[in-house]
Amino acid sequence: MESPISNYLRTVLDECRGSDGGSIPQGNAELARADTDLFGIALATVGGSVYTAGDAEYEFSVQSIAKTLAYALALDDRGRDAMAEVVDTEPSGDSFNEISLEPETGRPRNALINAGALAVHSMIEGASSENRAERVRLLHSRLAGRELSIDAAVHEAELEADDRNTGIAHLLKAVGVLGADPAEVVDGYARQCAISVNCRDLATIAAVMANGGISPETGERLLDTQHNRHVLSVMATCGMYDGTGSWISTVGIPAKSGVAGAIIGVLPGQVGIAVVSPNLNEHGNSVRGVAVFERLSKDLELHMMHVSPTGDSAVRTTADGENEATVELQGDLRFAGAESILVALSRTTARALVLDFEHVRAIDDAARSLLQHAVDRLREENRDVTIRDPQNLMSAP
């Protein structure tokens, strides 16, 4: 049975494809050649499932999204106190490439604007720009679950267009914030921006962050718990540059955008999401990417201020016989819970299924819709599905 989530993601892409406007940045020769029709999405759950639609396997450069894991790496190397001396955690209210520094200390306002990212990169342990960028690449590879590479052409194009970052780096050095040679820092930063990824990679990385730094697939701890939480907090307040306030009130998902057109979103305890589409709005964020996240947040009630229990306990028991299976559900069912139920249903081969809602307290519209789609699909496969629903929870209110 194909998951209704995959079909839903395709529908969202189709309906958001008309979100026109914006433009492709021209400052980088490689990015300027991007295909405006490129549009992909991946959603990875903390239970280990990954769903994709559109151009989810197409590779592009990670760009500023790398600032998140570079920050986590620097925190591991230096600790929070040392990092707080060189970069603050406050929103700047400015564009990503503005020189937003504290007047008294010279610290960049946060780690997710260019000035802050340069300071952060200089704090990563390594004897050279290549060493530091290689450590950032390796961390991305570990979280993505596959070996990633640095695109040499993108790296060179970054350096050719990096006069502004070079100027910022020299200013940071002058005020005592930069921990290494400005030219080396700019080179290393350009290298980390040139790591090649696809939507599946970014969603998988986001799912690790959503799972508290633990890989949903292997159970291995890949990020320090406290540092992961710290990075997510800064993503929530600063990740979408001067569009963050509107984003967090509307979408409500800690996120980070990149100039290649990707957006990564992390909803702790539930999902990691990645979208790519190259046309950018006035804030430097993907036009279609923003539209997709707004749609997902609304449809699936993913806003972080929406009180939602985890989905781990949604399946009470599963009695899977040769000919009949009973799946008992429990608790308050929302998107994460519904997704875990879909996984349980996909694992049974019994021709007759009983879906028991007796111990369910409540169900929201997103979960109800997903489960109804699943039931419809199973019946289309000539499976005998019985819904035991004494409270009529599956009936639309």
DSSP labels, 218-230: T--B-S-HHHHHH
The structural domains of the chain, with segments of one domain joined by +, span: 1-304, 315-388
Q: Which residues contact 105 (CB under 8 A, 6 or more apart)?
A: none
CA dihedral 379, 385, 388, 391 (to 10 degrees): 0
- Inter-residue contact 236 to 227 (CB < 8 Å): no
C-alpha dist (Å) from residue 172 to 81, 176, 296: 19, 6, 39
As a whole number of angstroms, the distance between CA 22 and CA 259 comes to: 12
Measure Cα distances from 107 to 58, 115, 170 in Å.
37, 9, 13
Task: Give the HSE-up count for residue 98: Cα atoms under 13 Å, Cβ half-sphere.
Answer: 15
In percent, how much of the chain has pLDDT > 70?
Answer: 95
* Measured CA distances, 28 to 46, 61, 120, 159, 160 (Å): 35, 12, 23, 9, 8
224-245 pLDDT, tens per residue? 999 999 999 999 999 998 899 9
Helix (H, G, I), strand (E, B) or coil at 342: helix
Query: Which is more confidently placed, 92 or 161?
Result: 161
Percent of the residues in the chain that have a pLDDT greater than 90, as a whole number: 80
In this predicted structure, the answer to whether residue 64 has a pLDDT above a threshold of 70 is: yes
What is the C-alpha to C-alpha distance for residues 351 and 253, in angstroms, rounded to an integer? Answer: 39
Residue 158: name the closest of 117, 127, 125, 188 by CA. 188
The 10s digit of each residue's pLDDT in 73-113 is 999 999 999 999 999 999 866 655 567 677 788 899 999 99
| pLDDT for the residue 396 | 67
Please state, in angstroms and rounded to a whole number, the distance separating the CA atoms of residues 302 and 294. 10
* Contact (CB, 8 A) for 117 and 64: yes
Per-residue pLDDT, averaged over 251-276, amounts to 97
Q: Is the model's pLDDT at 54 over the cut of 90?
A: yes
Could you report the per-residue pLDDT of 104-140, keeping only the tens digit for each? Answer: 888 999 999 999 999 999 999 998 999 999 999 999 9
Answer whether 125's CB lies under 8 Å from 77's CB: yes
* Distance in angstroms between the alpha carbons of the first and the last residue of the chain: 28
The class (CATH top level) of 315-388 is alpha beta
Whether pLDDT at 154 is above 60: yes
Q: With 60 as the cut, is the pLDDT of residue 311 above it?
A: no
Predicted confidence band of residue 315 (pLDDT cuts 50, 70, 90): confident
- Does 1 have pLDDT greater than 90? no
Output the pLDDT for position 358.
Answer: 93
CATH no. for 1-304: 3.40.710.10
Q: Which of 46-60, 136-150, 248-262, 383-397 has the lowest mean pLDDT?
A: 383-397
Q: Which of 384, 369, 317, 374 is nearest to 342 (CA)?
A: 374
Using only C-alpha atoms, the chain has a radius of gyration, in whole angstroms, of 22
pLDDT tens profile 4-22: 999 999 999 999 999 878 9
Residue 351 has pLDDT above 50, yes or no: yes
The per-residue pLDDT for 96 is 56
Q: How confident is the model at residue 275 (pLDDT cuts 50, 70, 90)?
A: very high
- Say whether 315-388 and 1-304 share the same fold: no
Give residue 373's pLDDT: 94
Mean pLDDT of the chain: 93
In 3D space, the residue among 309, 257, 264 whose CA is nearest the CA of residue 284 turns out to be 257
What is the β-pairing status of strands 352-363 and 384-388?
Answer: parallel
In the prediction, which pLDDT does 316 show? Answer: 74
Is 55 within 8 Å of 275 (Cβ atoms)? no
Mean pLDDT of the region 347-352: 90
pLDDT (tens digit per residue) in 173-196 = 999 999 889 999 999 999 999 999
